[in-house]
Amino acid sequence: MTSNQALADWVRDVAALTQPDRIHWCDGSQAEYDALIADMLQTGTLIELDQETRPRCYLHRSDPSDVARTEHLTFVCTPERDDAGPNNQWMDPTEAHAKVDALFAGAMRGRTLYVVPYCMGPLDSPLARCGVEITDSPYVAASMRIMTRMGRPALERIEREGSFVRGLHSLGDLDPERRFIMHFPQELLIKSIGSGYGGNALLGKKCHALRIASYQARQEGWLAEHMLIMGVEDPQGRLHYIAAAFPSACGKTNMAMLIPPVEYRGWKIHTIGDDIAWLHVGDDGRLWAINPEAGFFGVAPGTSRHTNANAVDMLQHDTIFTNVAMTADRRPWWEGLSDETPAFDWQGRPYDPANGPAAHPNSRFTVSAKQCPSWSPAAELASGVPITAIIFGGRRASLAPLVLEAKSWQHGVLMGAAMASETTAAATGKVGVTRRDPMAMQPFCGYHFGDYWAHWLATGARLSKAPGIYQVNWFRRDAQGRFLWPGYGENLRVLKWIIERCQGAVDAAHTPVGNLPLRGGIDLTGLDVSHDDMRELTHIDPQAWLTEMDEVAGFLHGFGPRVPQVLHDERERVSHGLRNITAG
Ligand code: OXD
Ligand code: MN
């Protein structure tokens, strides 16, 4: 089936262990996809949605215990515990292999083993990397065709290059007690069992493109980040690309395909990616980005014509929905989409509000990126796109202003390292708790955060034309809990300021925590945001920030001696500046 001996041997060994009834090598063809869908419709893994209004759209209902990433069951297995860092759960590789291999033994009996070759990034890009996922889930195989460049061309690249990341996945028995997502960065290997949920099972995404890739990126001198990539084109045709990191379910998908407000006629958004960016230092000293993915695995609830019309348009056909609700006439439905009342909830029960939301809060759509009206062919460029600005964002009700500019690359790295956000339904656990989520990579960095920050600093030192670094917060509230900023398309006003700053076109107010827009700096034409709200959004409370910086100091120290001294110094510089203000 392949001329790559290592791959052929691995498939043979896995089959001997897992005992599938059949082996299928995925070629990525339409006929193969259609057959996978037909098979899943027959077994009930997929439910057909109304084919008149939603051609080739299907609904998958997962096991109710398997609806989100399970961070407490996710491990980074390096020989030295310290290499995984306090930011990861660690297990000794020998122990981890023994533990999961026992669960994989015989796990595919009665099932088909799919060999899924895939490429993360444009097939002809030197920045792209390949992998092979072995899975016993047709839902995973079909989803990988949407989310990656999957099939024969990827296999051909693997055969040419020889190297690939190996990912072994089985649904197992879906028992959370026997669920593990194990990463072996030194072996470029992933073993995931007991879950069919995207973030745990589509191994090209979080497991390969973030955890394994971040490790590989450090060795090879690039960055693998939890970032969207978008181009912002102004009416003069000037195009700037932005990479923005936000924690899961904080609006990356909406921002990546933002629709300019009516006052911004002539502005255009170019969507490159909504979740992951691989960033390389170019020969020109600029930072270049590719989106390793080819599709979107987005959060459905809250997506509507008002919040993200591009997404609503792209979801009208050829989409797999997971754990959304359904109307009586078999259309997909979720909270926020419309005023309709669905007939069935995400578990297929007749809808009863007493059972909670109709769609699971982490219900998803899986769709090809090319279906997005704002998708840009630049996503296929082998070179990637040059980045003008990097944005770190979080969901914070208080403290963090609408936008803040870092004073230098080092300061930007501190900003990223100090990021905090309220937790969401994308991972199991309590929702709405503020936790530190450095660079939005807390669940995804495959090695010690101290080494990761050092790598960020080293990367900055190689950039002669480094992007500006910014922090944004679309989620600021007043004492009554009201959002101060309208968000969504209006966020373009903030992006405009960021781009103007990168071009040196506007001044800013300087504070120790970063530079803020001057009064009138953010264009509010046609927008109903009061002067008081705008003031609240664009000023900082030095006392509260001093407390924040004390917490950041404690947080950084928690990572021990691997944290670069530069970061401690930078934090001290900020605190010192704040103390001068509060004392004065
Ligand atoms: C995702 C996540 O699915 O971050 O993108 O959980
Ligand atoms: Mn994500």
> What would the pLDDT profile of 97-150 be if each residue is shown by its tens digit?
999 999 999 999 999 999 999 999 999 999 999 999 999 999 999 999 999 999
Which numbered atom of ligand 1 lies nearest the CA of 248?
4
pLDDT confidence band for 423 (50 / 70 / 90): confident
Ligand 1 lined by 205 (C-beta under 6 Å)? no
Per residue in 311-354, pLDDT tens? Answer: 999 999 999 999 999 999 999 999 999 999 999 999 999 999 99
pLDDT of 451 reads 98
Among protein residues, the one with the nearest Cα to ligand 1's atom 4 is 248
Give the Cα separation of 439 and 453 in Å (integer). 10
Which numbered atom of ligand 1 lies nearest the CA of 199?
3
Asked if residue 584 has pLDDT above 80, the reply is no
Per residue in 10-59, pLDDT tens? Answer: 999 999 999 999 999 999 999 999 999 999 999 999 999 999 999 999 99
Percent of the chain at pLDDT exceeding 90? 97
Residues 6+ apart with CB under 8 A from 495: 232, 242
pLDDT of 293 reads 98
Report whether 257 contacts 311 (CB < 8 A): yes
What is the strand order of the sheet 319-322 is part of?
Answer: 47-48, 58-60, 319-322, 364-368, 295-299
Ligand 1 lined by 74 (C-beta under 6 Å)? no
**Average pLDDT, rounded, for the chain:** 97
Among protein residues, the one with the nearest Cα to ligand 1's atom 1 is 248
Which numbered atom of ligand 1 lies nearest the CA of 68?
6
Q: Which residue has the tokens 């092979």?
A: 132
| 581 alpha carbon – ligand 2 mean position (Å) | 38
State the catalytic residue, choosing from 57, 130, 250, 445: 250
Ligand 1 lined by 248 (C-beta under 6 Å)? yes
Ligand 1 lined by 489 (C-beta under 6 Å)? no
| 226 alpha carbon – ligand 2 mean position (Å) | 6
| For the CA of 143, the nearest ligand | 1
Give the Cα separation of 236 and 244 in Å (integer). 24
Asked if residue 200 has pLDDT above 90, the reply is yes
| 390 alpha carbon – ligand 2 mean position (Å) | 17
| 194 alpha carbon – ligand 1 mean position (Å) | 18
Active site residue 250: yes
At 388, list the tokens.
Answer: 């003008």
Ligand 1 lined by 209 (C-beta under 6 Å)? no
Ligand 1 lined by 129 (C-beta under 6 Å)? no
pLDDT of 315 reads 98
Report whether 574 contacts 549 (CB < 8 A): yes
Ligand 1 lined by 75 (C-beta under 6 Å)? no
Per residue in 280-295, pLDDT tens? Answer: 999 999 999 999 999 9
Give the Cα separation of 482 and 378 in Å (integer). 38
